[in-house]
Amino acid sequence: MAFFYDEAAHTFNEYLLVPGYSSAECVPSSVNLTVPLVKHPLHGQPSLTLNIPMVSAIMQSVSNDTMAIALAREGGLSFIYSSQSVARQAEMIANAKDYKAGFVVSDSNVSPEDMLTKVLELKEEKGHSTLPVTHDGTPHGTLLGIVTSRDYRPSRTPLDAKVSEFMTPRKKLVVAPKTTTLSEANDIIWDHKLNVLPIVDENDCLVYLVFRKDYASHKANPLENLDAEKRYIVGAGINTHDFEERTGPLLAAGADVLCIDSSEGFTEYQSNTLAYVKKEFGPEIKVGAGNVVDRAGFRFLADAGADFIKVGIGGGSICITREQKGIGRGQATSIIEVADERNRYAKETGIYIPICSDGGIVYDHHMTLALAMGADFMMLGRYFARFDESPTAKVTINGNYMKEYWGEGSARARNWQRYHSGSSNKLSFEEGVDSYVPYAGPLKDNVALTLAKMRSTMCNCGALSIPEFQEKAQLTLISSTSIVEGGAHDVMLKDQVGALPPTFR
């Protein structure tokens, strides 16, 4: 006979935090959100950390190089999606690593033979007014000069004028060698009153640009997630079918951490993938695995060598696994059980394996609840898909701006590797939908608001770090009527009054 759990599985929406004592020192600005990304000795330091407990999902509609740069700048991490060619995924990783912090690979370049029309077209397309001039018009060609808006006037300079006729030539430029640090580059910019400083190699080929305006940006992002070379940390997804061909190029491109992207983690496929990567590339290569929803699943992946473990099946906003297959578990219950097993494992072995809550996050406070229940960080899809930095198109639906968002289990993604469990290279049925989410603007502003709520809640519970929060948090299940009571009720909201017929106003 089948095994039956004694209690129903619960979601985040069924819980609330009970406030605890807060000292005068408990202020949001003092809260530290640093968490471990990979396993480490229980009382030791992890080799990789997150400065905020947020990573973006391994999805076509969420995580590309643009998202990776933006999220790492805020202290998080992106796992660039694997449902694309190996070459294209490796290129995205390299783009994110090459960006560094304050060092920009120019995406708007011209050659001396190009005309003013090309300059104006690039300015319109990219929004940049500073264009390096290289011998072949590529980002890393020999630097011959630079064009800024001060070098021409569209109303007076002929549109067919060659760039060589109006550019600021190389001999008049202040440049710096590629060994220059960001601090040194900023000093040069200020000493010479520059707006941009080209960084060149030993052959005088352009490598990076450093902008004056980015100095303030760098100072405004103290939580940037950087590696030892001051480059942004970036992750990459792999699957359990072409990992032998994919892993090497991704690591060569600079991926700092890998994550197996699969609909279900309690499988021989996952243990084989982990074993291969560790054997072929070394135990120092960090690989996350999942997804699981119970103790047994956690133990299996822990014993298989996973460096972090993702928790959650069927809880994503675009996931229909539960209704299609009847498989899954309430996300809150899954996190609570797996976190408890993680702690048992740590006491037994002396090794702490972080767990990632993947799916089931609808509101900002759900993230705080996930952390209180034991998650070290969250993997988010819908949340990040709404922002400017996600790779999808912004469209207008019924007068409202929306962003496209689709699941990896949808026909649009064609990601058969994630759900494949047989010999045919196709999706037998969909486990994800194609949808829209409300456009929310830039990532930075939204993440700042979410983290402000998180820090405030932690202070309400008397905690200044996530480990302290998990130790002090008190959680209570709530009734359906409590959920109603928790929102605005028994009042007429002002923005709804205009929708009423005149006789009811």
Residue positions annotated with a catalytic role: 319, 418
Residue 23 one-letter amino acid: S
What is the pairing mode between strands 131-134 and 143-147? Answer: antiparallel
Distance of CA 312 to the CA centre of its chain: 18
Mark residue 350 as left, alpha or beta (left: phi above 0; alpha: psi -120 to 50; beta: remaining). Answer: left
The packing angle between helices 65-74 and 86-99, to 10°, is 40
* DSSP bridge partners of 208: 199
CB proximity list for 243: less than 8 A, separation 6 or greater: 260, 273, 276, 277
CB of 67 within 8 A of CB of 444? no
CA distances from 225 to 76, 145, 152, 303, 391 (A): 6, 33, 39, 29, 21
**Cα gap 459→29, rounded to integer Å:** 10
What does 268-287 look like in DSSP terms, one character per residue?
Answer: HHHHHHHHHHHHHH-TTS-E
| Helix, strand or coil, per DSSP, at residue 447 | helix
List the beta strands (DSSP E) in 121-249: 131-134, 143-147, 168-169, 176-177, 196-200, 206-211, 235-238
CB of 421 within 8 A of CB of 329? no
**Cα gap 276→273, rounded to integer Å:** 5
**Cα gap 444→447, rounded to integer Å:** 5
Instruction: Please name which of 216, 215, 235 lies closest in space to residue 225, comparing C-alpha atoms.
Output: 235
**Cα gap 327→291, rounded to integer Å:** 12
CA distances from 74 to 67, 101, 225, 226, 391 (A): 11, 12, 7, 11, 18
